[in-house]
Amino acid sequence: MSDTAVLDREIDRSKLQISDEIAIEITMMNKWYGDFHVLRDISLTVNRGERIVVCGPSGSGKSTLIRCINRLEEHQKGTIIVDGIELSSDLKNIDKIRSEVGMCFQHFNLFPHLSVLDNCTLAPMWVRKEPRKEAEDRAMHYLERVKIADQALKFPGQLSGGQQQRVAIARSLCMNPRIMLFDEPTSALDPEMIKEVLDVMVDLAETGMTMICVTHEMGFARQVANRVIFMDQGQIIEQNEPEEFFNNPQSDRTKLFLSQILSH
């Protein structure tokens, strides 16, 4: 929970273009778990090419927020529009959005009974109905990009945590998503593995991918994000450009949070 894995590479900021096109539009979204009001009046507009880092204390609803974007969680009030499609209980829209939005989980959630390659080709072959050859070629391409192509025939259980998370990223990319969601992708990793995963995420940012990351890697937030969102108790408390956010936080709660995670 700190700057431990500061990225030691120069990021080509010129590649980080943000377009005017809107990728995600959330308006006055509310969610309850039973009686518990987890998300309160969330409004957020994400343009294509934005890299947003969401942070906040545990239980603040940040994971729930991004899980609402691909409907792993259902919201009860307000609207979420992803890629021009409004999320409703229509299963067809949900499946369409899910195949456009990639997601990486804290615990990777690779399929342990399938090889790395099969993990990557499964969704293209069964959801997009691509021929095996084509799916495998693209899978190898992405596995190479996350620098793990030599492990393609192994099973996830034989890889380290960092390698598994990189495979998980490649698996999402194989569906050619236009938006990537990251739910604490480095929280379950050892320090030395955090860097290899962050490297892959920086590469991804440089391709112009729209990214929303729930993470405590403040080094990543500083260097890659164009916007940092701070959440507490189900609300968005503050959002700003990283420079301003870290150097000049406005809200007391933000100040407290930053002092806690940056103090050591």
Partner 1 sequence: MSNRHEPFVASGDIQPSPPPSSVVGPIAWVRENLFSGVANTVMTLIGIYVIYSLLASLVPWLLLNSVWNASSLQDCRSIDNGACLAVIRERYLQFIYGFYPTEERWRPVVAFVLMLVALWPVLFAGAPRKLLYASALYPATAYWLIWGGTIWGPLAVMAGPIVGIILYRVFDKVLSGMMDEGIAGILSMAGALLLTITWWLFAVVQVDAILGSILNIGLEPVASDKIGGFLLSMIIGVSGIAGSFPLGIALALGRQSNLIFIKALCTGFIEFIRGVPLITLLFVASVLLQYFLPPGTTFDLILRVVIMVTLFAAAYMAEVIRGGLAALPKGQYEAADALGLDYWKSMRLIVLPQALKISIPGIVNTFIGLFKDTTLVIVIGMLDPVGILGPIRADQNWNGIVWELYGFIAIFFFVFCFGMSRYSLYLERKLQTGHR
Least Å from the CB of residue 248 to partner 1: 36
Dist. CA 164–CA 257, nearest whole Å: 30
Total length of the chain: 264
Q: Does 85 bind partner 1 (CB under 8 A)?
A: no
Q: Which stretch binds partner 1 (CB under 8 A): 20-28, 77-85, 102-110, 202-210?
A: 102-110
245 makes contact with partner 1 (CB under 8 A): no
Strand 85-86, strand 77-82: pairing: antiparallel
Q: Closer to partner 1 at the Cβ: 103 or 204?
A: 103
- Centre a 10 Å sphere on the Cβ of residue 149 and count the other Cβ atoms it contains: 16
Tell me whether residue 102 or residue 234 sits nearer to partner 1 (CB atom): 102
CA distance 64 to 183: 9
Does 127 contact partner 1 by CB under 8 A? yes
**CA-CA distance, 66 to 70, in Å (whole number)?**
7
Q: Does 33 bind partner 1 (CB under 8 A)?
A: no
Shortest distance (Å) from residue 202 CB to partner 1: 22
Give the binding-site size for partner 1 (rule: CB under 8 A).
30
Q: How far is CA 189 from CA 82, 177, 214, 241, in A?
A: 30, 25, 15, 27
In the complex, least distance from residue 109 CB atom to partner 1, rounded to whole angstroms: 4
Comparison of 185 and 249: residue with beta carbon closer to partner 1:
185
Nearer to partner 1, 139 or 237 (CB): 139
- Segment contacting partner 1 (CB under 8 A): 44-52, 87-95, 135-143, 213-221? 87-95
Name the one range near partner 1 by CB under 8 A: 14-22, 80-88, 119-127, 130-138: 119-127
Q: Does 123 bind partner 1 (CB under 8 A)?
A: yes
Which residue in 9, 15, 77, 107 binds partner 1 (CB under 8 A)?
Answer: 107
Contacts (Cβ under 8 Å, ≥6 apart) of 109: 168
Task: Specify whether the CB–CB gap between 183 and 172 falls below 8 A.
Answer: no
Binding string to partner 1 for residues 38 to 77, with x set by CB under 8 A, is what?
--------------------------------x-x-----
Query: Over the range 212-238, which residues count as b (16 or more CB within 10 Å of their CB) and which as e?
Result: bbbbbbbbbbbbbbbbbbbbbebbbbb
- As a whole number of angstroms, the distance between CA 151 and CA 105 comes to 20
* CA-only gyration radius of the chain, Å: 18
Asked if 207 contacts 201 with a C-beta cutoff of 8 angstroms, the reply is no
Residues contributing to the site for partner 1 (CB under 8 A): 70, 72, 91-92, 95-96, 98-99, 101-103, 105, 107, 109-113, 122-123, 126-127, 154-158, 171-172, 175
